[in-house]
Chains A and B, each alone.
Chain A
Amino acid sequence: MRWTIAGILLGFAVAAGAQDAGEIKTVAGAASLERGGKKLPLSAGVPVRQGDTVVTGANGAVGITFTDNSLLSVGPNSTLVIDRYAFDSTTHKGEFDTSLRKGTLAVISGKIVKQSPDAMRVRTPTSIMGVRGTEFLVKVD
């Protein structure tokens, strides 16, 4: 009986993390999250998912911690799309694609890149970046 409960608890823990790619950790100034054509209020603790777009205004900035411990932040006047995110917490395999349409982006890569050096890509309107376990900045004028 106790084992069954333990199994259910473990199941919940896995299910709760299945959809969330990460969560908002820092917010400054004007910022919003767009999901399925809707604008959602954005504050620390709000989960982000594959397909979400983060938009900041002239004084805005947002920081996100992903479930694989990747850290991303965007500065003012930025648009960042989370195109694809998948992470297996048991094997650490995954895929991580984001697009910076405009503005500034800071990236500290996490466990996905540690496990599979080619599994994270960042796009801008003109470039594709392959990330081999590192920290970097991107600006689109």
Chain B
Amino acid sequence: MAARALIAVAVLLSGCAKDTVVLLPGPDGKAGTVVVQRGQERHVLNQPYASSSVGQEVKVLPAAEVRESYGTVLQALPSRPAAFVLYFITGTDELTPASKGDLQKVLAELKQRPSPDVVAIGHTDTVGDLLGNDRLSLQRAERMKVYLVEIGIPGERIKTAGRGKRELLVPTRDNVDEPRNRRVEINVR
């Protein structure tokens, strides 16, 4: 109730201020939902390029028109974060041969970005005790950091963490040798 009163006051104070909200399709072409509350007026936007303005019905704008009028702000959007998963030989911080190849994809992604930062999160399978796996998972993330520093990414741009066997990609019982759980997730942003 208090919030509603505040909105009403905001509307009165703002006088001629006027806003427009336009929903965009995601990478899969589908749109999510934005609910616009403007005093008593409520618009639900749930299809691509649906637009809400004060005192008007929701309407769908031509895509080209939206892309043009919002060209500058759209161009300024940072690249979407990219995620990679690299796998390890059992009990070690050595990448599998296939994942060594995948490391090149991470490097290619890093080179495309003007100011990249990296988060490397290490994981283990369920063989061994909790603390040993915590240590191994962090060691794997740190090993990734060494690789990335070697190819020129500043160390302070790389964060590492180890989650041990707490976040299994493939759920297993304890003491199961599961190659898909021995991994580092690398997020390039």
Residues of chain A whose beta carbon lies under 8 Å from any beta carbon of chain B:
2-3, 6, 9-10, 13-14, 16-17, 23-26, 28, 44-45, 61-65, 69, 71-76, 78, 100, 104-106, 108-109, 124-141
Interface of B is mostly: mixed
B24 is an interface residue with CB less than 8 A from chain A: yes
Q: Which 5 A-B pairs have the closest CB atoms?
A: A134-B32, A75-B73, A44-B115, A25-B78, A61-B76
CB <8 Å contact, B76 and A126: no
Residues of chain B whose beta carbon lies under 8 Å from any beta carbon of chain A:
7, 10-11, 13-14, 17-26, 31-39, 45, 54, 66, 70, 72-81, 113-115, 117, 131, 134-135, 138-139, 142, 157, 159-162, 187, 189
Separation of A114 and B80 alpha carbons in the complex (Å): 15
Q: A10-B138, A137-B73, A139-B19 are in contact. List 15 more A-B contacts (CB 8 A).
A: A6-B135, A10-B161, A69-B81, A69-B187, A73-B78, A104-B72, A106-B70, A124-B17, A126-B18, A127-B37, A130-B37, A132-B33, A134-B23, A135-B32, A138-B20
CB <8 Å contact, B72 and A3: no
Separation of A72 and B19 alpha carbons in the complex (Å): 18
CB <8 Å contact, A137 and B162: no
Would you mind naming 21 contact pairs between A and B with Cβ atoms under 8 Å apart?
A3-B131, A3-B134, A6-B139, A17-B159, A23-B117, A61-B76, A69-B187, A73-B78, A74-B76, A75-B76, A104-B70, A106-B77, A125-B17, A126-B19, A129-B34, A129-B35, A131-B32, A136-B45, A137-B24, A138-B19, A140-B19
CB <8 Å contact, A137 and B138: no
Q: Provide the residues of chain B in CB contact with A14, threshold 8 Å.
A: 161
CB <8 Å contact, B75 and A9: no
Q: Provide the residues of chain B in CB contact with A132, threshold 8 Å.
A: 32-35
Cross-interface CB contact of B25 among A6, A73, A127, A135, cutoff 8 Å: A135
Q: Provide the residues of chain A in CB contact with B134, threshold 8 Å.
A: 3, 6
Given contacts A26-B114, A45-B115, A71-B80, contact A126 B23 (CB under 8 A): no
CB <8 Å contact, B115 and A106: no
CB <8 Å contact, A108 and B80: yes
CB <8 Å contact, B72 and A134: no
CB <8 Å contact, B75 and A61: yes
Separation of A130 and B36 alpha carbons in the complex (Å): 7
Separation of A16 and B160 alpha carbons in the complex (Å): 11
Q: Provide the residues of chain A in CB contact with B33, threshold 8 Å.
A: 132-134
Q: Provide the residues of chain B in CB contact with A23, threshold 8 Å.
A: 115, 117
